[in-house]
Amino acid sequence: MIHKSHSKQELIDIVNDLEISNIELSHSDSKGDTHKKILAYMDANSDTYQENVYRIGDTHDLRVYLMAKNPKKSLSVKEKAVVMGITKEISRFAKSNYIVENTRYASMKELEDDMLYIVQYGDLPSVRRAVKLMNDNIQRSRVWTCVISPQVKKIIDEKEEQKRTNAYHATFRRGEFIITFD
């Protein structure tokens, strides 16, 4: 049984990342159809996989991973609202030149307690931004580090690599030029 917290897109991504060619998934398939195809594959095969971001080594590991709750879906709507409220308050703290009196916090200790709470949700871009803002504070007591899942880390690394390879270079020339239009 595949846990319901795994979305259809995430299941497709897992199959593609593990390079399982025996399963033919389509975006037009329903989530139930996707589940059936993956379960039929796992019952019929026992393969090993190359190193991947999910740390799945073989079909048994895949079964265990899919039976468990999706690690990326650990936040409820209420918890996410609390985390987003904290990140907004940290942004306000940073915009007010890191002065605690301009925020709802009574002391720097309360702010650091909230930081300890939100760093575990590093998959959220707002949390990563709040951590960056806190690390930019020259009065900080420590360096903050987000806990980021391997899947999100892979996506961030791919975006950074794409930015480096797609850098545009422009050359500027001075002088007189004649431009004609037909």
13-17-21 Cα angle (round to 5)? 95
- For the residues 130-159, what does the mean pLDDT come to? 88
Decide if 107 is inside a domain: yes
Is residue 179 assigned to a domain? no
Both 14 and 60 in one domain: the answer is: yes
Number of domains comprising the chain: 2
The total number of residues written for the chain in this structure: 182
Helical pair 59-67 and 8-17, crossing angle rounded to 10 deg: 160
Looking at the structure, tell me whether residues 91 and 111 fall in a common domain: yes
Which residue type is seen at 68?
A
Same domain, residue pair 104 and 32 = no
Q: Does residue 174 sit within a domain?
A: no
Q: Is residue 171 part of a domain?
A: no
Quick one: which of 46, 40, 49, 124 has its CA closest to 82? 124
Does residue 152 belong to any structural domain of this protein?
yes
Residues 60 and 93 both lie in one domain: no
The pLDDT of residue 163: 83
Q: Is 70 exceeded by the pLDDT of residue 167? A: no
**Exposed, middle or buried, 141 (CB in 10 Å: 0-12/13-18/19+)?**
exposed
CB–CB of 148/136 below 8 Å?
no
Question: Which of 132, 135, 134, 137 is closest to 156 using CA atoms?
Answer: 132
Which of 20, 41, 71 is where one domain is finished? 71
d(CA 87, CA 124): 10
Asked, for residue 118, whether it belongs to a domain, the answer is yes
Amino acid (one-letter) located at 95: K
Q: In this model, does residue 121 exceed pLDDT 70?
A: yes
Note whether residue 103 is domain-resident: yes
Query: In the chain, pLDDT over 90 holds for what percent of residues?
Result: 22
Q: What is the pLDDT of residue 15?
A: 87
Q: Structural domain of residue 58, as residue ranges?
A: 8-71
Among the candidates 18, 46, 71, a domain finishes at: 71
The predicted pLDDT at position 88 comes to 94
Measured between its terminal Cα atoms, the distance across the chain in Å is 68
Q: Flag whether 12 is in a domain.
A: yes
Single out the residue in 55, 71, 87 at which a domain terminates: 71
User: What are the tens digits of pLDDT across the range 35-51?
Assistant: 888 888 888 888 888 88
Residue 166 has pLDDT above 90, yes or no: no
- The C-alpha atoms of residue 51 and residue 32 are separated, in whole angstroms, by 28
User: Residue 48 pairs with which residues in a beta bridge?
Assistant: 58
